[in-house]
Amino acid sequence: MNSSLLNPSILTIVTFLPLVGALLLLFFPRRDRDIRIFALIVTLAEFIISLHLAAHFHPAISTFQFETNRAWIATPAIFYHLGIDGISLWLVLLTTFLTPLCVLISWKSIQDRTKEFFIILLILETALIGVFVALDLFLFYFFWEATLIPMALLIGMYGHGRRVYAAVKFFLYTMVASVFMLAAIIWLYARTGTFDFVTLQSLIRAGHVPGFASASLLLFLGFFVAFAVKVPLFPLHTWLPDAHVEAPTAGSVLLAGVLLKMGTYGMLRFNLGLFPEQAHRNAPWIIALAIIGIIYGALVAMVQTSLKKLVAYSSVSHLGFVVLGIFSFTQLGLVGAVFVMLAHGVSTGALFILCGIIFDRKHTYELKEMGGLATPMPVYATFFLFIMLASVGLPLLNGFIGEFLVLTGAFQARALYGVLAATGVIWSACYLLWMYQRVFYGKVGNPANASLPDLVLQERAALWPLAVMALVMGVAPLIWIHSIDPAVRLALMPLLQYTSQVIGH
Amino acid sequence: MIPAASDYLRILPELVLSIFGMLVMLIEPLLPEHNNRKALGALAFVGALTAVASCFCMAAHSGTAFGGMVRVDQFSVFFHVVITLITAVVILGSFEYLNVQRIRLGEYYALILFGAVGMTLMSSAVELVLVFVALEISSISTYILAGFRRNVATSIEASLKYFLLGSFATAFFLYGVALMFGATGSTKVYEIAATLRSEHAPMLAFVAVALMIVGLGFKVAAAPFHVWTPDVYEGAPSPVVGLMSTAPKAASFAVLLRILFAAAGNIPVWFWLIWVLAALSMTLGNLGALVQTNVKRMLAYSSIAHAGYLLVAFTAAPVMGISAAMFYTASYAAMNVGAFLVISHFGNQDERYVTLDDYTGLSRRAPALAAILTIFLLSLIGIPMTGGFFAKFYVFRAALGSNLIWLTIIGVVNSAIAAYYYLRIIVVMYMRETTEEVPTMKIPFGLGLALSASLIATLYLGLLPGKVLGYAIASAQGLLK
């Protein structure tokens, strides 16, 4: 392969390029326009470089690829171990894909402390990518915690009315939860002397960890709580509506698009990968919570009076599908879960951008202030319709594929799961279509709405890629599933081994 | 007996610091009245740097000196370096502060240097009477420094309170030394160790150890001996608080480590004493800090809590525990000195602006200062990538490794509580808008340098802690020999 020279360091470059950009921005004079352009260039370059990963990824190879493994700290033995498989590859690309769009959408709406904004955004990008590529548990925790502060700052500095409350709530919720994960990580290290995910996995599988049997439930829960708060799984979701509603658009996009996936990614990678037995035992109640989340999120979304809160609750519902898919332990369910993660990132990211566009014009998200917007803003209405249909799960658009796969997997696992979860699809059609009707159709009730300007260049530039992506993912899902499938097969392996053992006895 | 020449090399940093301190005192009267004493500060700074350099010379001559009163090992070198570095950074950060507060007394710098002599000597003294003398040198200097804003009532109060309670505490320590002599017939740490190992330890030795813990517990502001801390830290000049919340504490912890692990290693009675002290300090410190609106007081309570975290390490298995404690002193020094330097700069004349309200919107008025303070605060919370994270990590790992589940749980819960009040400062700086006009000054060169040094140290310990921890582990092993 001609690019083999680049392979060992390409992940490092992808991870830290935004951080380097942020450091350079520190020394920029406060000329907002230059800063925006620079941030756009950095994030676009980052996206292009990250495409290299997709281009040279071998779906056939079942181990981690683009691996780097170097000693970082001697005591405790922490390694700088990066690598991606078919799951994390796409999550990295999702991040690098969404960030330039976040820059575009913040072009006009962020006028105050612009420099800080873009520095924080770039640092956040590095941390998010780091979470997906880290294969050393300690390194993973590092990046995991590193996402916290930039996100809290984005909400708290650039958000709306109750931003401080939302930021502090977000910070405390996630920090307290991740302490449990740290405790579990340290326990594992104390017994095995390694933080390395791959090594730990094989040690656990071979039964070489003393005291593992008695502690595994607590360890499983330690990881699970941290991830469940991030997802967020019902009933730990209460920080999410606040954070979303108060966050600036770019914050919401990354929060919904990528940050929530850190939780589901963690469940898939660590809860399934390290504790297959406990995952199997605890699956029933986790699935119950996931299904409650699907239905509850949808019902609550239906009665929202604020556009953005509605989208936020729809995330709770959609992420329920992901958790359901993961804990269905079927090949289809897991592939579907990963696909929903990506599809949700694209379409909910786009929905938040659309919310932000209307907020920039009207400075409110209240549904009753809207109505008949299709007349003054036809292009906006069209984009909105398209993305909304993608989110509802219209066939040929991205939402359909993932949900269909998850539901098939759920049916395979147990018909009841499938039946209950399938109602979620109906609910989502209800609340989204009803919302669309209230916002865009009918007469222009509020005279101020009659003269709203339609989309400007940056807004179109941010929406086009998302709309195209929603379509491509719906029409040609195999591009993604091709590499997701083997990775999921590998992720399921420890679990299948365990279940076959149980049946064998 | 005339001491050998190499004996002097073994106390070279102390000698250097004393000589420069005396030079400052000698030159001070020659300067005209209105002079701002920056030259003296520069001289003191050079002195502190020379002392840092001389630590390496001292490190090359390990062994005992002056008839076994001083012992140079990796352990004492570690604390010498930490303390002299703190001294250098604090002196550097004080130039502008003294100007703004209109303090024109060169003795300030001399006292810092003399204080450092005591503190460094504490870490290498292995004879308890010498430890006491060093403790007094360090204490008396800091008593005076605490009252250096002599036109401000709170500063005088701070000095007096610190002095009265401090002398009381040192008396406890001395009483402990006397009883230890009675119990073992020696005041030398390693002779005491030998006596206590060879025969059944007398009751008197228990009491002696307990009394010494009380005396040193006061110096490190561990609960329940902490009541002086908020008032003293609030009144004393901010750079001095930066100094006295780190350097004398590091020295006292060094003495405590030596006495408990090297001398009284097999008297288990102190284990529960320290356990209670640690749990109380963490809890009372953090709960106290939650309700503060004065940033200096808040950090005073936080320093009590941090003393608690540090004491957790004492209850763990020796090598892990000692090295964790050493690492903690170093990273706590880096972040806390930095935080207090920011506060000292932002406090402006008479340290007027020290409440949370004054910090609102600081990120807008002084973005760089706010960002730097944020990093120090994140480090104090224990967020990864900062020294504070690994400090806590090593301490709790050591505790878990010794199966101290409950103490670890108390510690972790406390860290979560603590996050709240540190975050409050960050929240008001970044997320609230200014309501009143609070002036901010440009960051002067000296302070900028001092802040960069603290910042680099904090991040270095957070990203590449391996070297320092490795050294700490090696010195812990050396200490126990």
* Spatial separation of the C-alpha atoms in residues A294 and B310, rounded to whole Å: 46
Question: Cβ contact (<8 Å) for B397 and A190?
Answer: yes
Asked if B364 is an interface residue toward chain A (Cβ–Cβ < 8 A), one would say yes
Averaged pLDDT, A101-125: 88
What's residue A457's pLDDT? Answer: 86
Q: Are B57 and B135 in contact (CB under 8 A)?
A: no
Alpha helices in A193-237 (DSSP H): 197-205, 212-230
pLDDT band at A63 (very low <50, low <70, confident <90, very high): confident
**Residue B430 touches chain A, beta carbons under 8 Å:** yes
Query: Does A27 contact B at CB distance below 8 Å?
Result: no
Rounded-to-integer distance, Cα A24 and Cα B13, Å: 40
Decide if A336 is inside a domain.
yes
pLDDT tens digits along A179-236: 888 888 888 888 888 888 888 888 888 888 887 788 888 889 889 999 999 888 888 8
Query: Measured between CB atoms, does B67 come within 8 Å of chain A?
Result: no
Gap between the Cα atoms of A167 and B126, Å rounded? 51
Does residue A281 belong to any structural domain of this protein? no
Q: Helix, strand or coil for residue A396?
A: coil
The region, left, alpha or beta by phi > 0 then psi within -120 to 50, assigned to residue B292 is: beta
Q: Do A73 and B466 touch (CB under 8 A)?
A: yes
Q: Is A130 on the interface with B (CB under 8 A)?
A: no
Contact present, B471 and B327 (Cβ < 8 Å): no
* Chain A residue numbers touching B383 (CB-CB < 8 A): 145, 148-149
Q: Would you state the pLDDT for residue A163?
A: 85
Distance CA B388, CA B305 (A): 13
Q: What integer pLDDT is reported at residue B1 of this predicted model?
A: 63
Q: Is residue A463 assigned to a domain? A: yes
Full-model pTM: 0.89
Please report, in tens digits, the pLDDT of each residue of chain B (481 residues total).
Answer: 677 888 888 899 999 999 999 999 999 888 887 777 788 889 999 999 999 999 998 888 888 888 888 999 899 999 999 999 999 999 998 888 888 888 778 889 999 999 999 999 999 999 999 999 999 999 999 999 998 888 888 889 999 999 999 999 999 999 999 999 998 888 898 888 888 887 777 888 888 889 999 999 999 999 888 889 999 999 899 999 999 999 999 999 999 998 888 877 666 778 888 999 999 999 999 999 999 989 999 999 999 999 999 999 988 888 888 999 999 999 999 999 999 999 988 887 777 888 888 888 888 888 888 899 999 999 999 888 899 999 998 998 888 888 888 888 888 888 888 888 998 899 888 888 777 777 777 888 888 999 999 999 999 999 888 889 989 999 988 887 7
Give the SS3 label for residue A373.
Answer: coil
Contact between B216 and B255 under an 8 Å Cβ cutoff? The reply is: yes
CB B249 within 8 A of CB B135: no
Following DSSP, what letter does each residue of A180-205 receive, concatenated?
A: HHHHHHHHHHHHHS--BHHHHHHHHH
Contacts of A149 in chain B (CB under 8 A): 378, 383
- At A1, the pLDDT band (50, 70, 90 cuts) reads very low
Q: Does B396 touch chain A (CB under 8 A)?
A: yes
Q: What is the ipTM of this complex?
A: 0.83
Chain B interface includes A186 (CB < 8 A): yes
A434 touches chain B (CB under 8 A): no
Under 8 Å between Cβ of B44 and B111: no
**A215 or A41: which leads in pLDDT:** A41
**Can you tell me the mean pLDDT for A157-168?**
85
Q: Tell me if A313 sits within 8 A of A365, measured CB to CB.
A: no
Cβ of A179 within 8 Å of Cβ of B415? The answer is yes
Say if residue B138 is exposed, middle or buried (CB neighbours under 10 Å; 0-12, 13-18, 19+): buried
Cβ-nearest to B469 among A75, A142, A148: A75
Q: Could you tell me the two tokens for B268? A: 């288990």
The answer, for A170 touching chain B at a CB cutoff of 8 Å, is no
Which pLDDT belongs to residue A503? 64
Backbone φ and ψ of A83, nearest 5°: 180, 155
Please report whether residue A28 resides in a domain: no
Query: What's the mean pLDDT in A434-459?
Result: 82
Whether the CB of A176 is below 8 Å from some CB of chain B: the reply is yes
Domain that holds residue A299: 287-505
| The amino acid at A476 | A
Residues A156, B364: C-beta atoms closer than 8 Å: no
Chain B residues within 8 A of A16 when measuring between CB atoms:
none
Nearest-angstrom CA–CA distance, A352 and A257: 9
Report chain A residues whose CB lies below 8 A from the CB of B464. 73
Domain count, chain A: 1
pLDDT band at A133 (very low <50, low <70, confident <90, very high): very high
CB contact under 8 A, B401 and A73: no
Minimum-distance CB partner of B384 among A146, A164, A186 = A146
pLDDT of residue B101: 81
pLDDT higher than threshold 60 for residue A2 = no
Q: Which residue among B383, B397, B470 places its CB closest to the CB of A74?
A: B470
Please indicate whether, in this complex, the C-beta atoms of A168 and B473 are within 8 angstroms of each other. Answer: no
Q: Do A145 and B383 touch (CB under 8 A)?
A: yes
Asked if A79 and A70 touch (Cβ cutoff 8 Å), the reply is yes
* A contacts of B392 (beta carbons < 8 Å): none
Residue written as token pair 């993961």: A326
Chain A contact present for B384, CB below 8 A: yes
Q: Are A64 and A83 in contact (CB under 8 A)?
A: yes
Q: Do A120 and A126 touch, CB atoms closer than 8 A?
A: no
Coil, strand, or helix at residue A9? helix
The pLDDT assigned to A505 comes to: 53
Q: Is B397's Cβ below 8 Å from some Cβ in A?
A: yes
Q: What is the pLDDT of residue A4?
A: 54
Whether A443 maps to a domain, the answer reads yes
Burial pattern A372-410, b for ≥16 Cβ within 10 A else e, equals bbbebbeebbebbebbbbbbbbbeebbbbbbbbbbbbbb
> Is residue A294 included in any domain, yes or no?
yes
